[in-house]
Amino acid sequence: MPLYKRKPFPLVDSPDDLEPRDLVFQVRFTKEIFKDYQIWTCKVTGKANLTYEEALVSEQHAAEKVQQFPKELMAPVLHIIQFSTLTLRDLLVTLSRKLQERQLVEGLELHVRKKDKSFPCKILKILEDSDPISYEVGWIGKDKKVTGSSVVNFNDLIRRKLPVSREVLKSFIRESTSQSSPWVIHDNLAREHGISTKPPEDSNDDDDDARKKKNKRKEPEDDNSLIRRKKAKKGVLTAEEEPIKYPIDDSLVKPDADDPKFTDRPPPSRDFGVPEEYVGDLLMVWDFCSSFGRWLHLSPFSLEDFESAICHKDTNLNLIMESHSAFFQLLIKDEGDYFTAVQKKKRKSKVTLLNWSEYLCDFLEMKEISEFSTHIATIKRGHYGLLDPHYKLAIFRELVVCALDTDAFRDRLDDSIEQQQALAAKKRGVALEEGRKRREEKLLKAESNGKEVLNGHSLENGGKVHHYENGSDDKQNGSNGKQNGCNDKENGSNSKSKGSNDKQNGDVAEEENKHILDKDYNRYWFFRHEGRLFIESSDSKHWGYYSAKEELDALMGSLNPKGERERALQKQLQKSYDKISLALQRRSKGIAFNIALEEAVVRRSTRVHASVRDNPAKAFLRYVNKWKE
């Protein structure tokens, strides 16, 4: 039976103070009339602010879930519940732990968390004499044999999921008890499972203490203390009754007993060839070359090859030369300051392995940046490869900035924007047409519903019943229907306008959504051509990456949707999950293939001298620009 203000409520007569024009609500099942309606509470789940029908349906659904509760668990769970003085939250925690301990039996294979890593093991013995309970486990090796043993605590074990969810467990507690302080199960359940209905002696002592406190509160007190107590009580009740509306800022989210089991966030890999604070420049330059390779006449290369080339000490690497040459050719075609500087030096029109460093020195002298001026002499002597990787990346970063300022790039960008706007306008037209059809269908449906009401059909539960002296209900309902129709149309147009703006943003919004923040303001980056998910710290000084599908799954399982940032990150990862996981798996297969290839090269006969360039790790040495002009 649904609760009214958290208490049982018998059927009542209609209010006596009703005026003819008052708006009231009628319960469809009991024909009762109320001035307010969202004040019912589901007895089983505790959900509040429901209509009578919603509370009734909620109780029915909860009862169906309780029927699915495993019968073999009923007796032990009811034994723990009977006469327990714990709060519902603490009782749930206790039951969850007991059920998990019940699953841990000798011979069970599972994993143990040790130093942020998990290791397979097998429970050899349960040490019930220790407090808390400990477990002797045997470590399982690659050959599936036990290689050693250790004693671990309950919290170190990576447990299986509970046989029932917390929601079902909560519903079972509410459904099977008649009171909550202490918890007392129904007599028929106690008899069925052989559970005592007589309170324990310590429980009686607690009841006596509670009665003494209650009598003490009834003693007369002065007006000032009474006012202070009432104010304090009112403040506490207000804080307890106001539920938190999620999502909230991630820093305000606190652990809750009802939270699902979050996985541990895996530590990212950080084995970069360049210092971490310059990984952002490495990714920016590589992504620019990959995205505009056709326009630069520069065939694509992997991020690993680019990183290896940057860290290599050789000066005349084809990949480095071709990358610089592509930027030099673009700046020369722009006929700007760099074109003038090259003309003064009377350089040859073609950039080659022999003269590319001269073009580089011309560029650095033109920029007149103090950071570069000290290295010009080193480059002129033919020792570009001896520069630190972060200086090489700083030069590339400056080349990208200059490329963005060229007229050719701006023209290309304008063309892309025009194409995008035309595509957005086309999509907008389709959306407007679909919206018009939906509105017409909605109006036709509203008209048909209005005719049904005129023909004497009963109102739905929670529908408003208007009382008028002159029987003008239909007119008033009709005017309200028109007003609601206008509101629906206005809301539809607003949502449509918002949708058109989102579509007009197109790929720009999609690019922005690729790197949403987590609770610690870490930014996540994913590139189509690279099978890794990169993590950038809030100050951009620390970088890491995930390269395995298991790490992606663990990351998603560690996100708490109660926080605003992690909720947005979780949604974006779910949206792009297939694409990201496929890229990670493809990269893992490629790494496995390269390792096998390296082993094959090592196993060659010593009579066959394999070239260093045959090694997959040295693929950057074999780079050839196939898109060169």
Q: Across-strand partners of 41?
A: 3
Tokens 């189509």 — which residue?
528
CATH architecture classification, 72-211: Roll (2.30)
Phi, psi of 490 (to 5 degrees): -65, -45
Q: Nearest 5 degrees, angle CA 570-CA 252-CA 558?
A: 30
Q: What is the pLDDT of residue 180?
A: 78
The pLDDT of residue 3 is 66
CA dist., res. 386 & res. 398, Å (int): 19
**137-155: per-residue pLDDT in tens?**
999 988 888 888 999 888 8
Whose CA is closest to 173, among 8, 71, 43, 6?
43
Q: Where in the chain is the domain with CATH 2.30.30.140?
A: 72-211
Handedness of CA 343, 349, 353, 354 (dihedral sign): negative
Q: Are 307 and 390 in contact (CB under 8 A)?
A: no
Predicted TM-score (pTM) of this structure: 0.51
Of 520, 559, 563, the C-alpha closest to 250 is 563
Among 378, 374, 376, 396, which Cα is nearest to 386's?
378
Residue 239 has pLDDT above 70, yes or no: no
Alpha-carbon torsion, ordered 276, 281, 284, 287, to 10 deg? -70
Question: What average pLDDT does range 414-428 have in this prediction?
Answer: 87
What's the pLDDT score for residue 612? 52
Provide the b/e sequence for 212-236 (b: ≥16 CB within 10 Å): eeeeeeeeeeeeeeeeeeeeeeeee
| Pairing mode, strands 109-114 and 40-41 | unpaired
Whether 427 contacts 503, CB under 8 Å? yes
Angle 257-263-268 from CA coordinates, rounded to 5°? 140
Name the least confident of 18-27, 73-82, 247-256: 18-27
Comparing 10-19, 532-541, 601-610, the range with the smallest average pLDDT is 601-610
Tell me the average pLDDT across 376-383.
Answer: 91
pLDDT digits 0-9 by tens, 523-570: 999 987 888 999 999 999 999 999 999 999 999 999 999 999 999 999
Residue 500 contacts residue 431 (beta carbons within 8 Å): yes
Cβ contacts of residue 152 below 8 Å, gap of 6+?
112, 134, 135, 137
What letter would DSSP give residue 269?
B
Task: Say what the pLDDT of residue 624 is.
Answer: 92
Kindly report, residue by residue over 19-68, the tens digit of the pLDDT. 777 777 777 767 777 766 666 777 777 777 777 777 788 888 777 777 77
Nearest by Cα to 348 from 332, 326, 372, 365: 332
Helix (H, G, I), strand (E, B) or coil at 191: helix
- pLDDT at position 461 over 70: no
As a whole number, the mean pLDDT across the chain is 78
- Please state, in angstroms and rounded to a whole number, the distance separating the CA atoms of residues 591 and 458: 68
Q: What is the arithmetic mean of pLDDT over 312-325?
A: 92
How much is the pLDDT for 601? 59
Two tokens, residue 207: 């009841």
CA-CA distance, 136 to 108, in Å (whole number)?
12
Assign residue 115 a region (left: φ > 0; alpha: ψ between -120 and 50; beta: otherwise). left
